[in-house]
Structure 1
Amino acid sequence: MSYLEYPKPRYHGAKGEVNSVFRPADTPPDISSPGASTHYLATNASTGGEFGLYKVELGARSPGAKTHFHKAMSESFYILSGELELYNGEKWVTGRVGDFLYVPVGGLHAFKNVTDEPTSMLMLFSPGAPREEYFERVAEMAQRSAEELKQFRLRHDSFFVEDFDPRTE
């Protein structure tokens, strides 16, 4: 029987360390806006770049994110509550509680809440990227010129189809 190999050790101590991070469930969101809130569960900084994990709560009829892809990281979605429309690069599927969508590097994807109820999901980026500035400033940048928004998105490894061919959205 053949077994997959584990990655090479990155910790070389003999006794382990006390270095866990606990975040209580009642911690307020790190970002709140009228239609959404985001909780920074594990950031690029807190995981040493291994991954980024965010809890995102979208209000009813939230537009989410249009079709895009990433060149440096994968993105995954896990539905905690409500329903979320997810574009898997080929078609829209309805994600419900417990559903999971993995989008490899380069995979086209999008999401939106088309229901009259809020929805909640976990978003996982791997490897970790400094997504916090993106989450914190994307609404502001959307109010600027199309070129400024495009450059902001590109700086954050977010290649939106509409930035390259507006007829495709």
Structure 2
Amino acid sequence: MSHPEPGSVVVRTLAEHPMVANGGTSALRMVAPGSVTAGRYGLVEYSVAPRSAGAAPHYHSTFSEAFFVLTGELTVYADGAWRPYAAGDYALVPERGVHGFRNDADNPVTFLILFAPGIAREQFFAETAELRRSGRQLSPEEMTAFYARHDQVMVDV
């Protein structure tokens, strides 16, 4: 039986990945971006305020996403319907799986999002936060290009 070559253990302290406002009613922490995991996966901690929008239904062609609820209740769009998921619940969304999330509850929700492979998803979050902070509205053409650049296809449901 072969074993992988010994490598360096990567440790990121909390100071190296602080929770940052996402320009609206949410905040996120880039726990392990793909640049840290050699592209194997990306891990984000996400927090959404009570009664707040999150991500409208969409899909990705080149990566999967998994959601793990840490605290509160996360409403996830999956299999054609919005359903609440509580702390400890997990959802795996394969490539091209239509999904979305929001907080319909009266309490904040915190959850993990795992992307595989570890594409540079942090760029999507950074650009989204900057747009929200600036109040700038993208034209339909700019929005299409933005989503295409980040492998996000919005779906009308």
TM-score under structure 2 length normalisation = 0.87
CA distance in 1: counterparts of 2:10 and 2:16, whole angstroms: 18
CA RMSD of superposed structures (Å): 2.3
CA distance in 2, matches of 1:87, 1:111: 6
Q: What SS class does the counterpart of residue 149 from structure 1 fall into?
A: helix
Partner SS state of residue 147, structure 2: helix
1:30-66 CA-partner distances (Å, limit 9, x unpaired): 4443411110111110011100000000111221011
Q: Which residue in the other structure is 2:144 paired with?
A: 150
Structure 1 Cα separation of the partners of residues 13 and 70 of structure 2? 17
CA distance in 1, matches of 2:67, 2:79: 14
SS at match of 2:142: helix
Q: Is the 8 A contact 1:78 1:99 kept in 2?
A: yes
1:115 Cα deviation from its structure 2 partner:
1.6
Aligned match for 1:37, one of 11, 22, 27: 27
Change (3 A) 1:99 1:25: farther
Cα offset, 1:137, TM superposition: 1.3
Contact residue 31 and residue 39 of structure 1 kept, 8 A: no
The percent identity for this pair of structures is 33
Q: What amino acid sits opposite 1:152 in the alignment?
A: F
The equivalent residue for 1:164 is: none
Q: Residue 135 and residue 30 in structure 1: after superposition, are their counterparts in 2 closer, same or farther (change >3 A)?
A: same
2:38 is matched with 48
* Structure 2 residue aligned with 1:165: none
Which residue is 1:105 aligned to? 95
Q: Which amino acid aligns with 1:131?
A: R
Q: In the alignment, what sits opposite 2:71?
A: 81
Cα contact 1:76–1:103 (8 A) shared by 2: yes
Higher relative contact order (CA 8 A, sep 6+): 2
Does the 8 Å contact 2:22/2:125 carry over to 1?
A: no
- Decide whether the 8 Å contact of 1:31 with 1:136 is kept in 2: no
The amino acid across from 2:144 in the alignment is K
The Cα shift of 1:27 comes to 5.4
Larger radius of gyration: 1
Question: In the alignment, which of 119, 133, 142 is matched to residue 129 of structure 1?
Answer: 119
Amino acid at match of 2:149: R
- Number of residue-to-residue matches in the alignment: 153
5+ residue gaps, structure 2: none
CA distance in 2, matches of 1:26, 1:155: 27
